[in-house]
Each structure stands twice: as C-alpha cells, then as structure tokens.
Amino acid sequence: MAFYQRILVASWGIFLLTMAISLSAVHFAPGSDESADKRIVARLVQQVARDLSAGLAEDPDNAVEALLTRQNLSLAPLLEIYVIDPAGDDVLARALPRRIAEVYTGKRQHSSPMLHVDSPDLRGYTIIGDDQFFPLAQVLVRPGGRTFMLAVGLAVSALISILLARFIVLPVRRIREAGRRVADGDLSVRVAHTVGNRSDDIASLARDFDRMTEQVEGLLQDQQRLMRDVSHELRSPLARLLALISIARQRAAADDAPASTEQLDRMERELDRVDELISSILAFAQLDHADALHRQPIDLVDLLENVVDDASLEAHAEGKEVQLLAGSEPLVMPLDGAIASAFENVVRNAVRHTAPDSRVEVSIARTDAGVTVTVDDQGPGVPPEAITQLFAPFFRVEEGRGTRSGSGGLGLAIAERCMRLHGGAIAAVNRPEGGLRVTMSLPRAAEAASAG
Amino acid sequence: MSDPSERTLAVLPDLPVTQEIKVLLVDDDAEFAQLVDEYLGAEGGFAVTARGDGEAGARSALTGEYDVILLDVGLPKQNGFSVLKLIREQIDTPVIMLTARGDDLDRILGLEIGADDYLAKPCNLRELAARIRAIMRRTRGGGSSDVQAESGRAVIGDLTVEAGSRSVYRDGELIALTGAEYLVLDALLAQAGEVVDKGAIAKHALGRRLQPYDRSVDVHVGHLRKKLGPLSDGRQRIKTVRGRGYLYVVLS
C-alpha cells in the first residue's frame, strides 16, 4: 500500500471515528436525556402545544393556520415538530418518519416522552417532536459540545498519528540514523532488515538505501585497495632505485669521485621523501574507521617522552629545542599505536616551523573530560583563513610559512583522523604572543568514535 | 649522546670478520635481490643466496648453513611472519626482517616472533651491510658480557641466567627469550639496580646505534616485562626512568 493511500485511509479514519464517538456520546452519555438541549427542545414542543390548544379553544377552524404563522415547526436539523391532525396527517403535509409514525400509532414509546403531546386540549391533534435527525448537530449546539467534539477529534487524531508514526516516522528515523552512521564512515550499516516484511515505499527506500551504501562501500574499498596497491607497488621500484644508488655510491667511492657522491646524496634524499610520502599515504588509508583501531593500554606520558626525545635530536641540529611539561606519574589510556605518529607529526611540524634558536613546548593536562596535549611553537603562525584547512590532506600554507619540507603534507591530516577515531579532537590557534598552538584532546572514556 | 655504560658493559669486539658471512635473502623482487648480491659482493666478505618465495626461503633457512637471514615481510603465498615462525621453531639463526617504513605493527610482530632486528625497505645497502655485520659481531662475538665473563651462571633475585646456553630461568622455570630479548636483559642485569640508557642497550643487544623514532629497545623491554612477569612483591621488574633509560629493579 502506498503512502498516499495510507494517509487517505487515515484521514477518513479520523473523520469517521470522531463522528462515531460523538454520536455514541450523544446516545450513551449519562444525563443526555436531562441535558439542556433536550429541555429547550421540549419547551419548544410544549409551546407549540399550548399555542395550538389555545387556538383551538378560541377559533377551531383557523387554529392551525394561526399556529403556522406564529410558530416555526421545522427547525431542521435540530428539530421537526409534527402536528398531526385527527385524520393522521401532518399539517405541513410532511411524511412521517417511521419512528414518529410508530409513536403516533402507539407501537413504541418516544425516546423523549416530553416531545409527545397528546392531551385532550388538542381535540384529536397530536404533537410529536422529532429531534433525531442528526444528533451531531445537537452535540454542536449543546453547551460545551464544541469543546467535546474538539477533544474527541484530538484524541482520535492523536491515536491515529501514533499509529502512522509507528508506521512511517520510526522506520524513516532508523534510515536517517543509518545515514548519519554512514556519514561518519561506517559503511557496514544496513537497514532493510529493520522494516520487516513490508512492501511499501518505506521498505523500498530502505532497500535502495542498502543498495546505495553497498555500492559506495564497494567503490571506497576498491579505491582504498587501489591506493594501497599503488603505494605498495611503488615501493619495489623505490627499493631498487635506492639499491642502485648504493651501488653507484660504492663505485664512486672506489673511483674517488666526490662530485658524483654529492649528486647521489641528493638523489637519496629525494627518494627518502618519496618513501616517506608513500608510508604516510598508507598510514592515512589505514585510519579509515574506528573499527580499525587496536586499542591497548598506552602510557601517554611515556609515549610523549619518547616523541619529544626523538624530536629533540632532530631539532638540535638547527639549534632548536623541544621541551615536555608533564607530571611524572604515568597516564595510561586504551589507545591505538597509531596515536604515536599523530603526536609525532604535530611535534615535528612545530619543530619545522619554530624560529631558529627557539623552543617548542609540549604539555599534558588532565581535564574533566580526559586529557589535553598542547604543542606550542614560536614560528610565524598561520594566516587566520588557513587555520581551518590546516588539517586537510596536502594543505600547504604558502605565505608566511614557506613550502613545507619533509612530511608530504599528510602529517597533520593523519593526526586529525587519528584523534577523531579515538573520539577526540584537534584544533590549531594562533597564540597572542606569536606562534601556533595545536591542541589535541582525548576523551577519558574509551568509547568508539562512531558513537559521536 | 654520551654512553656512560661503556665502562661497565663489555665493549663488543670489533673483530675483523675472517670467514665469509653467508646471507640468505628471502625476497620476491628478484631484481632487488640481484642488486643486493652485487653490492655485498663488491663489499667483500659476503656470500648471498636469494630465494623468491616463503616456502623455498624456509626450506633453505632450515638447512642451517646460513649465518644470517634477511626476510621480506611482504612475500607472496606465505608471508614473512609465517616463514619466521617456521624458522624459529627449529633454529636460532639471526633474522633481520625487511619491513615497510612506518609499519610499526609489522616490526613489533616480527620482534615478537623472534626477529633479531628489522630494517625499513627501501633501504640504503650500506646500512643493510652494517646491520648484518652488527648482528654477526653480536652472535659470533658471543655477546660476551660481565655477567657471562665472571661465571657461566648468574643469579639475580629470582632469575638464573646461564650465559653459555643463553637461557634464563625464573624460579627454576625456563623462560623462552629471543636472541635480542636475551641481550637486552643481559645489558640490564649487568648493571642491575642502575639506570642503563637506551643507546647502550641498543649497542649491546642490537650491535648498533639507536636511531630516532626507533622503538626496538622499548618493544624488547615490553616483551621482557610480559614474559618475566612482575617481581615477587608485585612491582614492575624493569622500571622506565623517564628521559634516561631502563633499570632492572633489585629487591633489597
């Protein structure tokens, strides 16, 4: 069944149910006989009866006509007052509804005896009020009737809406939730099984969603496989090239040719760079979703100690320093080993950009939420418009910071991805006193990143 | 980095290697193997045999006629780790794993299974030759240390070390250690109760200088901690001394 049919049925359902409930309320509501509108109706009938009997007493021949000029006998849809002459016909020649005829012939009691006047004063005339046309109308004119209708309408539509929601909104929400998870990089989500054995638009939406996700997953896997394969394949020629350079160097040394040695050194450095780029591409590709993390207890203080030690070695060559400000007690968290390269990349980046003879400061702080590691350099900082793009793959800040050497421009992207997969975050800000501050935060709770 | 332990740790004899070092290279890139052969041949003192896949590599390795095995991780059919496992089940020939740069998991796994050292490929062949020599110095030189020099048997706390067979017992129970792990422990025990810096440990256990971003010593220490367990009072047996190195705790 398609949506629009469902919705149509539902709105008809609301309408009919409201009617039915209101009608039965009129019929079965306690005190409806004694209710105000019944009394009004009875008064009208009594009035007609009094008028007629007075008229008949005064001028029997013209009594009916006089009555008709003074009283309105048809108050549809509220009330019809039948004035039946001794011959058994209505004075307005209206056909008697069956139940009225039956009351007239005495086959049944009028449901409101007050509306049946058959007194001797009427000289053979009988007056029967019929208030049964359309009870809904009575409901509407009753004091509080509209409120009652409104309440019933609301209750019924609420009920139907809940049913509709269960049918439409819930599955749609599930699909939306799945969409969110897909956006967070979990392409293994499937929703078709959640809609059961339905065969409507929602079910086809779910199936289409699954097909789409499967396709995208396949494409992405192909892409990542391609990237990995390409990177791996590149390594073999690279290894041969480096071996060839080693041989050339061996020969140059034997021939005592320092000039070519210098060329060879430069070649080797370039090859090194290509190799580093390949490994960072592979590292980046491996960090594709939180399931890929192998968490193990890692002491952050110890890890940063190592990173800072290593970075110091590199920094000393340029007269720069790296300092770690951390307490001595260990800080063990369940992390993936890749976190080391995240910190390493950020620290090395800071060392690269900090001014000669200046210092990079790395500090660890425990917060309520977890742990924050900050890396401050004393470099030129980053233009404000570039700050947000700093963690994009291969992003280079052109002005102020010359083209970056070394890291192939994936270092900070790897750091960002790694923090995100651990449920943490990374941000950069220019310090007022100059230089860049990179803040990395890791949540205390070792919850999977896909949860947030 | 100064090396304060040089005085106490036996300086490894830099013996001129007289015999030819027999190298088995297991690598699927025949061209690369050819180049390694060419380079080491020109260096002199090496004889290289190359095998292109894991099975053939394992078969040759198990003949026991090689001094050192260079094992590429990314082998077809049977990867380097399973070959290493096969080799380690039977013989102790030193193994250098050729891993990809930045693949720390591979390195740690290799060291765990019992590789003696690793080298990132693509590598500079001069570095490769240096590594092979370092390992040979270590094994042929017998890794002579003070502990061993004094007697064939040393007892430190609940540990008993038999230098001759390079075996370690805890409370009489044999603890299986790889060659590198044994030497790391050896370096620590030689100065039990004192801080030994990582550079000195690397020199003693790996026969080479520690390079930046090189975690091998830390990995070996981690494995030793796991294999040896805590001390009888529940404390960590090998303490990390931040920024300085490691220390083997002696119960007073």
- pLDDT tens by residue, B144-201: 444 444 457 888 888 899 887 888 999 889 998 888 889 899 999 999 999 999 889 9
Please give chain A's pLDDT, 452 residues, in tens: 566 677 777 777 887 887 788 777 766 655 555 566 677 778 888 888 888 888 888 888 888 888 888 888 887 767 788 888 888 888 888 888 887 888 888 888 887 777 788 888 888 888 888 876 555 555 565 666 777 777 887 888 788 778 877 777 788 888 889 999 888 777 888 888 887 777 778 888 888 999 999 999 889 888 878 887 888 788 889 999 999 999 998 988 888 877 778 888 888 888 988 888 888 888 888 787 666 778 888 888 888 988 898 888 888 888 899 999 887 777 888 888 889 889 999 999 999 889 989 999 999 998 888 899 999 999 888 888 888 888 888 887 765 444 443 344 788 999 998 998 888 999 999 999 889 999 999 997 654 333 33
Alpha carbon distances (Å) from A255 to A243, A248, A249, A450, B93:
18, 10, 10, 60, 36
Q: CA–CA separation, A245 vs A12, rounded Å?
A: 84
Closest residue by Cα to residue B174 from B162, B186, B183 = B162
Is B40 a residue whose pLDDT tops 90?
A: yes
Q: Is A164 in the B-facing interface, judged by CB distances under 8 Å?
A: no
Mean pLDDT of all residues in B45-49: 94
Residue B106 burial by Cβ neighbours in a 10 Å radius (0-12, 13-18, 19+): buried
pLDDT grade for B70, boundaries at 50, 70 and 90: very high
Q: Do A306 and B215 touch (CB under 8 A)?
A: yes
Q: How much is the pLDDT for A10?
A: 78
Structure tokens at A257: 């040719």
Q: How much is the pLDDT for A27?
A: 64
Contacts of residue B83, Cβ cutoff 8 Å, sequence gap at least 6: B26, B54, B57, B58, B61, B71, B75
CB B245 within 8 A of CB B198: yes
Of B31, B42, B100, the CB nearest to A240: B31
CB A127 within 8 A of CB A77: no
Distance from CA of A232 to the nearest CA of B (A): 9
Q: Do A247 and B103 touch (CB under 8 A)?
A: no
Q: How much is the pLDDT for A22?
A: 74
Residue type, A349: N
Mean pLDDT of all residues in B59-68: 93
Of A239, A278, A328, the CB nearest to B29: A239
Structure tokens at A414: 């790897």
Distance from CA of B76 to the nearest CA of A (A): 13
Q: How much is the pLDDT for A97?
A: 82
Higher local confidence (pLDDT), A165 or B49: B49
CB A414 within 8 A of CB A342: yes
Q: Is B235 in the A-facing interface, judged by CB distances under 8 Å?
A: no
Q: Do A279 and B213 touch (CB under 8 A)?
A: no
Q: How much is the pLDDT for B247?
A: 92
CB B84 within 8 A of CB B112: no
Strand A321-325 versus strand A359-366 pairing type: parallel
Residue A401 burial by Cβ neighbours in a 10 Å radius (0-12, 13-18, 19+): middle
Distance from CA of B149 to the nearest CA of A (A): 33
Contacts of residue A48, Cβ cutoff 8 Å, sequence gap at least 6: A67, A71, A73, A81, A83, A127
Structure tokens at A71: 């009283």
Q: How much is the pLDDT for A450?
A: 37
CB A117 within 8 A of CB A126: yes
Q: Considering chain B, what is the average pLDDT of its residues?
A: 83
Q: How much is the pLDDT for A445?
A: 62
Q: CA–CA separation, A347 vs A345, rounded Å?
A: 6
Structure tokens at A28: 């079965």
Q: Say which range, A404-418, B4-18, B26-40, B237-251, has the weakest mean pLDDT.
A: B4-18
Distance from CA of A371 to the nearest CA of B (A): 20
Q: Do A247 and B39 touch (CB under 8 A)?
A: yes
Q: How much is the pLDDT for A143?
A: 60
Q: Do B125 and A271 touch (CB under 8 A)?
A: no
Is B12 a residue whose pLDDT tops 60?
A: no
Q: CA–CA separation, A247 vs A255, rounded Å?
A: 12
Of A241, A302, A310, the CB nearest to B212: A310
Q: Which residue in chain A has the smallest CA separation from B217? A: A306
Q: Is B16 in the A-facing interface, judged by CB distances under 8 Å?
A: no
Q: How much is the pLDDT for B143?
A: 44
Task: Tell me the β-bridge partners of A364.
Answer: A373
Q: Do B124 and A306 touch (CB under 8 A)?
A: no
Q: How much is the pLDDT for A245?
A: 93
Task: Tell me the β-bridge partners of A438.
Answer: A375, A428
DSSP string for chain B: ---GGGTTSPPPP-PPP-SPEEEEEE-S-HHHHHHHHHHHHHHSSEEEEEESSHHHHHHHHHT---SEEEEESS-SSS-HHHHHHHHHHH----EEEEEETT-HHHHHHHHHHT-SEEEEES--HHHHHHHHHHHHHHHHTTT--HHHHH-SEEEETTEEEETTTTEEEETTEEE---HHHHHHHHHHHHTTTSEE-HHHHHHHHHSSPPPTT--HHHHHHHHHHHHH---TTS--SEEEETTTEEEE----
Closest residue by Cα to residue A138 from A8, A277, A39 = A39
For chain B, percent of residues with pLDDT exceeding 70: 87
Structure tokens at B148: 């061993």
Write out residues 342-401 of A within 8 Å (CB-CB) of B: 344
Q: Is A243 in the B-facing interface, judged by CB distances under 8 Å?
A: yes
CB B69 within 8 A of CB B177: no
Q: Do A236 and B212 touch (CB under 8 A)?
A: no
Q: Do A246 and B104 touch (CB under 8 A)?
A: no
pLDDT grade for B9, boundaries at 50, 70 and 90: very low
CB B136 within 8 A of CB B40: no
Q: What residues of chain B lie within 8 A of the CB of A340, using their CB?
A: 104
Alpha carbon distances (Å) from B251 to B160, B161, B233, B236, B242:
15, 17, 9, 11, 21
Closest residue by Cα to residue A324 from A344, A342, A335, A308 = A308
Write out residues 309-338 of A within 8 Å (CB-CB) of B: 309-310, 313-314, 328, 337
Kindly report the pTM of this predicted structure.
0.63
Closest residue by Cα to residue A55 from A42, A71, A74 = A71
Q: Is A305 in the B-facing interface, judged by CB distances under 8 Å?
A: yes
Mutate to test the interface with B, among A230, A231, A233, A236 (most CBs of B within 10 A): A236
Q: How much is the pLDDT for B7?
A: 38
